[in-house]
Amino acid sequence: MMRIFDRTRRTRLFVALLLSAAIVLVTIDYRTHGNGPLEAIGRGIMTVIGPVQQAVTRTLRPVGDFLAGFTQVPSLKAEIIKLEQENALLQQREHQVTDIARENEELRKLLGIGHRFDLKTVTVRVTGVGPSNFENTVFIDRGTAEGVRRDLPVISGEGLVGRVVEASAHSARVLLVIDPSSAVAARLASNGQTGVISGKGGEQVQFDLFNVDAPVSLQDEVLTSGYRGGVYPAGIPIGTVARLDPKGSALTRRVWVRPYVDFTGLDYLLVVTGTGATR
Amino acid sequence: MIWKRALLLALLVITGLVIETSVLGQATLVGTKPQLLLLMTVALAMGEGPSLGAGFGFTAGLATDLMTGLPVGLTAVTYTILGYAVGTIRAQVQTPTAWLPAAMVFTGTLGGVLLYGGISLLLGQEAAGGRSLIEHSVYAACYNALLTPFLYPLVRGLGSRLRPARAMR
């Protein structure tokens, strides 16, 4: 009886010690603002786990894809209907695009712009996703040794993906634009009205336009606005306006943007290490 | 051999973390990822008691924290409490049923995510997923409970190797 009592007391003491240690860690993390020894340990763990994660992901990618497909079956039917509608719309637009492309080519010549995006990039592959449901991050297979460093923008063929928030020698962590802590300076392609895109964790991101009376309508394209000293270069496509909140008494006009990028199926990405001008 | 047990515990955490962030990370169900390390904490606490449950919970939580940009220590606090609570409750159950593991994983995940989310909200963190914390925890709990029949026996089997060898008297 006495031994059971002792064991219970020892367990309680052990748990109290663990909880105290955890609270000390929370305090250290808050005081160092994510730039202290804990971040260095995190980078160390990434260095150890990164290669294992890459090997597992590459070997078991078919299993992961199967599981991902299996869990997405209910939404596939709706997706097919949506894609058929989009296809019809795109066929319609194709005819318009030929004309716009010709006009664009002429304007490019006029302005002397060689390329719309003259970016210096590193091709990376996604090796894993963040373990928490409270954060939207992915891990990539390139790090500081390959020129990937903190605060570099990450894009895909469709548009803006996010930015690097932590980099070890051969792997890095990317914060996606849909994450609640992400903020991107953006503008409407149609009239240049600027604002800030913030993630909400869901499929759509929030776009707060600085001008309350800014003219905005559904399907308007949203691009990064870029500014001196900013993280993202100007002109990277983000998505299209999907929902308009009614004008209220707020200081900004709030609309919702559906990103071009499908964040559930990220694979190959580009880390922007510089622009043509800075090369 | 305490160092052997510590090494095995560390290997279990790393394996869990790698699987959680690679294969299972892609398999989201209604936008929610399964919480493998949380499931492992519950399974080990049920099999090996509150002390090992809390110890594994702390290590797994800390490893998770260090792999995210979220405040370090929060997941460690949550999983430690969870491991201790599940181990203590399991010790009170005299006649376990076949449903007990799934029920404990469901309740444990629900409680764990709510506790983590609650502390996070107090510290000014916003939950991802564009939905309320309750929805978030229910989805994660259902997903983990669905995985229980496949993973629970495996984790319990591995956990039994963490048991200290009894001296012959």
| Domains contained in chain A, CATH given | 2-71 (no CATH), 101-275 (2.40.10.340)
The tokens describing A277, both together, are 């001008």
DSSP A252: S
Tell me which of A5, A15, A129 to substitute to probe the interface with B (most B C-beta atoms closer than 10 Å): A15
B119 and chain A in contact, CB less than 8 A: no
Between A93 and B130, the more confident residue is A93
- Most confident range (mean pLDDT) of A52-66, A131-145, A264-278 is A131-145
Confidence class for position A176, pLDDT limits 50, 70, 90? very high
Does the structure show a pLDDT above 60 at A40?
yes
Confidence class for position A3, pLDDT limits 50, 70, 90? low
Do the beta carbons of residue A177 and residue A134 sit within 8 Å? no
The single-letter code of the amino acid at B109 is T
Measured between CB atoms, which of B58, B61, B128 is closest to A135?
B128
A56/B22 CB distance under 8 A = yes
Whole-number pLDDT of residue A75: 67
Measured between CB atoms, which of A26, A60, A137 is closest to B74?
A26
- What's the rounded mean pLDDT across residues A39-60? 82
Does the structure show a pLDDT above 80 at A64?
no
- Among B86, B98, B96, B71, smallest CA distance to B38 is for B86
Whole-number pLDDT of residue A103: 61
Residue written as token pair 């995940």? B109
Q: Please tell me the distance in Å from A151's CA to the nearest CA on chain B.
A: 14
For residue range A218-261, list pLDDT tens digits in order: 999 999 987 777 788 888 889 999 998 887 777 888 999 999 98
* Chains A, B: CB pairs < 8 Å: 180
Min mean pLDDT across A53-57, A100-104, A203-207 is at: A100-104
Does the structure show a pLDDT above 60 at A63?
yes
| Spatial separation of the C-alpha atoms in residues A41 and A82, rounded to whole Å | 45
Measured between CB atoms, which of A137, A178, A203 is closest to B69?
A137
B129 and chain A in contact, CB less than 8 A: yes
Q: Please tell me the distance in Å from B128's CA to the nearest CA on chain A.
A: 4
Whole-number pLDDT of residue B84: 95
Whole-number pLDDT of residue B129: 47
Q: What average pLDDT does chain A have? A: 82
| Spatial separation of the C-alpha atoms in residues A39 and A173, rounded to whole Å | 12
The tokens describing B60, both together, are 């797994």
Q: Please tell me the distance in Å from A25's CA to the nearest CA on chain B.
A: 5
B80/A15 CB distance under 8 A = yes
> Which B residues in the span 42-71 are in contact with A, Cβ-Cβ below 8 Å?
49-51, 54-55, 58, 61-71
CA distance readout (Å), B37 to A46, A118, A168: 17, 43, 24
Q: Is the interface score ipTM higher than 0.90?
A: no
A57/B77 CB distance under 8 A = no
Whole-number pLDDT of residue A74: 63
DSSP B166: P
Does the structure show a pLDDT above 60 at A111?
no
- What's the rounded mean pLDDT across residues A131-139? 88
Does the structure show a pLDDT above 60 at A91?
yes
**H or E element at residue A117:** none
- Among B63, B55, B118, B121, smallest CA distance to B86 is for B55
- What's the rounded mean pLDDT across residues A172-201? 91
* Average pLDDT by stretches of 10, chain B with 169 residues: 83 90 80 90 93 94 88 92 94 84 94 89 64 83 92 88 62
- For A57, which residue in chain B has the nearest alpha carbon? B22
Whole-number pLDDT of residue A279: 37
Whole-number pLDDT of residue A15: 92
A46/B51 CB distance under 8 A = no
